[in-house]
Chain A
């Protein structure tokens, strides 16, 4: 099983051309689907002892992560002082779960921007890696579903949570991720990714650990309840119908202007051409009545 995964990892490191991308994508989809089906029900049996998990994690780490993060996760600086991979001491299991679980790590190439891509490791491997990195130093743990779920709330509480979450979202998140969570541009080619349709767990972990260039919103900064509310607000956006019609990507006035020119002016000018166009002519002469 592990062999298969690593080979998939190699494909993704060396992928060139559109076909390879499709293959990786398909493989990734197949694996996530297949592995999820295979392992989710069985996860109860997978509760290997933590020491065993750490050992397994270290083994995976040495193969897939140590090149950038160092043999013991201490981080590696290049000769000219740039950070190749940051130190992982103290980043906690949440960071690993986010980075590896969303396929961001291992990177295909070094850089500040780590795009989401098909995962390389299955759930149990992610858990093993997380356990290993967590053993390097204390850090935030992977959140439980109860941390970000509104289960057990009354309707009023739920609504108040969503409203508060919206305000926190508009204050802390929209500046980079846009008012609809569609993402936005950052300096020097970076971008804040789209955060709609992302699993609540990963949003929670991203807030907690500040992946890549994103700032932290640690629990001392944004309380767990506030994080839960933000996630609830995002969920409410997903459930909300698109009241005004198709959303044009949720990117604001630029696509709207484009639509005005292409659709609006296009249709109107098309109509003008039709109105002024000459109709078919007959060779027949009109017979006077």
Chain B
């Protein structure tokens, strides 16, 4: 401890006047003396370690065999303590086969491989000064011989052309979009279709999954129906249900929730006085935040919660946002009753459903 501190030149000599010198208070003691491991000096320990490593490799081999056995013997429906036996046995045997190899190799490295630490000198990361000079000269000569500096016309026209040629990589991406993405008078931007859904005057509100129409009398106070436009179930050719793309797009904009509450609880919005039927109101199910379907309804508060980002809407009050990141109320679907007494839409939604977009206005 009382060794007098001696200046040490272990650090590089390259100094920056803005930075303090690197001063070592103590001399670098240098690499400590190497201590041997028991396996290096005791042949019995060495043998033991050897056996350990070989045992680990052997266990791995056993696991591999078991893996193959379970692949051919364990069925998809077999269970072990309520867990799927196939996944469990294949997984555990695979894990064993791999882990035992890993453990064995590392035990080998730790116990048996030479463990004398080596010292390797670092080289400067930067190239030597002369290499840099030669490279720079070669670079300059190349530039000079090409004449790119002396011939601005050639250089600038090349830069222009190369810059422009990237357009050929971008423009063809336009056809990633739908073939009807052309901007026309009726469709001033590609998203013009977002303003409409398949709802239409007189289209019945039907239950999701089963597609049956709803009479106001079917619903009690506090009922929630996850509903769809009937067009999804009979909008195809010959009144067939829609399929594929048409179904998915139709659902992604047309899904609604229908709830029945005490008519006195409803605070109708301006011009929405006749949009409800006996306390039954209908709103778009697609959140105005980023578009999750939303049907977490509390019957006593009339609040509807989105499970994705917790926007909360008050269905008694024109689906006003009461909490969360959504900025706009859910669009309301004006309801009426048709001649057969079923709930129908008075019209399409009066505003685009779902998340906001630039051209929405």
Contacts and interface: CB of A to CB of B under 8 A. Distances in A.
A touching B, CB within 8 angstroms: yes
A286 B36 contact: yes
A151 B98 CA distance: 48
A192 to B, nearest CB: 8
A246 B83 contact: yes
Nearest to B260: A216
Interface in A196-219: 210, 212-218
Contacts of B221: 216
Contacts of B295: 172, 175-176
Contacts of A287: 41
Interface in B205-222: 207-210, 214-215, 217-222
Given A216-B299, A220-B215, A281-B35, 10 more contacts: A175-B293, A213-B301, A214-B299, A242-B84, A243-B84, A245-B88, A271-B102, A279-B110, A282-B40, A287-B41
18 contacts: A168-B210, A176-B307, A187-B298, A212-B300, A213-B301, A215-B259, A215-B299, A216-B224, A217-B223, A220-B217, A241-B82, A245-B84, A245-B87, A274-B106, A279-B37, A281-B38, A282-B38, A284-B42
Nearest to B225: A221
Contact of A245 (B83, B106, B222): B83
A214 to B, nearest CB: 7
A226 interface: yes
Nearest to A165: B209
A180 B87 CA distance: 20
B347 interface: no
A242 B82 contact: yes
B91 A275 contact: no
Tell me which of A168, A186, A241, A242 has the highest count of chain B C-beta atoms within 10 A of its own C-beta. Answer: A241
Contacts of A216: 220-224, 299
A215 B222 contact: yes
A186 B323 CA distance: 12
B301 A187 contact: yes
A175 B88 CA distance: 31
Contacts of B300: 83, 112, 212-213
B289 interface: no
B299 A186 contact: no
B297 interface: yes
A220 B223 CA distance: 9
A215 B41 contact: no
Contacts of A83: 300
Contact of B219 (A167, A218, A271): A218
B209 A220 contact: no
B82 A282 contact: no
If over half of B's interface residues share one DSSP class (helix, strand or loop), that class is named, otherwise mixed; here it is mixed
A184 interface: yes
Would you list the 3 A-B pairs with minimal beta carbon distance, nearest first? A220-B218, A215-B224, A243-B84
Contact of A226 (B35, B210, B218): B210
B312 interface: yes
B84 A244 contact: yes
Interface of A: 83, 112, 164, 167-168, 171-172, 175-176, 184, 186-187, 190, 192, 210, 212-218, 220-221, 226, 241-246, 271, 274-275, 279-287
A284 B41 contact: yes
Contacts, number: 131
Contacts of B259: 215
Contacts of B35: 281-283
A220 B38 contact: no
B252 interface: no
Contacts of B84: 241-245
Which of B83, B102, B110, B209 counts the most chain A CB atoms within 10 A?
B209
Contacts of B298: 112, 186-187, 190, 213, 215
B209 A171 contact: yes
B260 to A, nearest CB: 8
Contacts of B106: 274-275
Nearest to B292: A175
Contacts of A171: 208-209, 226
Nearest to B312: A187
A115 B36 CA distance: 65
Nearest to A220: B218
Contacts of A285: 36, 41
A171 B99 CA distance: 43
Given A213-B298, A281-B37, A282-B36, A221 B223 contact: yes
A241 B222 contact: no
B296 interface: yes
B305 A187 contact: yes
A155 to B, nearest CB: 15
Contacts of A283: 35
Interface string B296-315: 11111101010100101000
B111 A210 contact: no
Contacts of A246: 83
A168 B207 CA distance: 10
Contacts of A274: 106
Interface in B287-345: 293-301, 303, 305, 307, 310, 312, 323
Contacts of A220: 215, 217-220, 223
Contact of B209 (A168, A217, A245, A282): A168
